[in-house]
Amino acid sequence: MFRKKGKTMKMYAAIDLFKGQVVRLRQGKLEEMTVYGSDPVKTALFWQSQGADGLHIVDLEGAFSGTPRHLDLLEKIAYAVTIPIQFGGGLRTVEQVLKALEGGAQRVVIGSKLVTDPGFLQELSEKIGPEKIVAALDTQNGEIQIEGWKKSSGYSLENFIKWVEQKGAGFLLYTNIQTDGTLKGADVRGTQKVVEMSRLPVFASGGIGCTKDVEELLKLKGLYGAILGRSLYEGKISLSEIKKNFKL
């Protein structure tokens, strides 16, 4: 059903939401939050104008509280832009997922719920189709982390990939927590391992800090896309220049 390899790597801009503001965290820690704007719709339109292939929207309040808090903003952003949106953070029920899709998301990102409720993924996949489900591989020291990256799931990365493939995920999102929000470089080696382990399309996320990092990811055979966050907001990477220079 899915083609892992594409002609070009997709470039998605991250928009993390907390109390209606656009923020970024360092290694998923609320105490290390930077606010980058108070108008998420304006931010979304800007990244679209710069050539983003899609938006990766995370409801951080939802991720930490266990229930989505920004579905209204998702709807406003989706109404304003024409590029695809994938949305995650606090999605714990089929009803919440359906609301996110109805609100304009093309895909949903599911993390902790995959571990805490083993039957959820298969149920969701049968309901909406695997092509709308992104399984979050939030990884630290080779283990999948859950509950806002505060707790180990007990799953190794390899075993978890096999499991979500079997149960009906359509995409994978690999994040090395130790590099997320640090600008210290993408985990190219870890990303390559995930691409090699799975038949599913893979998004890379975390630590992408400069154009060279993007160039290194572009060398990986079969990587579907990359998600850029802090590097965009701090001007370390220009989406429009990357799209032009690498002909993406």
pLDDT band at 1 (very low <50, low <70, confident <90, very high): very low
Q: What is the pLDDT of residues 150-167, one digit of tens each?
A: 667 678 999 999 999 999
Provide the pLDDT for residue 5.
Answer: 47
Mean pLDDT, all residues of the chain: 92
Active-site choice (53, 138, 180, 187):
138
Question: Domains in the chain and their CATH numbers?
Answer: 10-242 (3.20.20.70)
pLDDT at residue 77, rounded to an integer: 99
What is the model's pTM?
Answer: 0.94
Of 16, 53, 180, 187, catalytic: 16
> Is position 187 annotated as part of the catalytic site?
no
**pLDDT of residue 141 exceeding 90:** no
Locate 44 and state its tokens.
């979304």
Give pLDDT tens digits for 72-113.
Answer: 999 999 999 999 999 999 999 999 999 999 999 999 999 889
> What 3-state DSSP class applies to 245?
helix
Q: Is the pLDDT of residue 221 over 60?
A: yes
- Nearest Cα residue to 108 out of 65, 57, 150, 45: 57
Q: Cα–Cα distance between 231 and 233 in angstroms, integer?
A: 6
Task: Tell me the residue ranges of DSSP E strands in the chain.
Answer: 10-18, 21-26, 29-37, 54-59, 85-88, 107-110, 133-140, 143-146, 151-156, 171-176, 202-205, 225-228
* Nearest to 246, CA basis, from 53, 56, 81, 82: 53
What are the φ/ψ torsions at residue 48 (nearest 5 degrees)? -60, -40
pLDDT tens-digit series, residues 226-240? 999 999 999 999 999
Task: With cut-offs at 50, 70 and 90, classify the pLDDT of residue 148.
Answer: low
Any catalytic annotation for residue 72?
Answer: no
- Of 2, 1, 37, 32, nearest to 16 by C-alpha is 37
Give the span between the Cα atoms of 143 and 132, in whole angstroms.
25
Which residue did the predictor score with more confidence, 65 or 127?
127
Asked if 197 contacts 164 with a C-beta cutoff of 8 angstroms, the reply is: no
Could you read off the pLDDT of 178-187 as tens digits, one per residue? 776 678 889 9
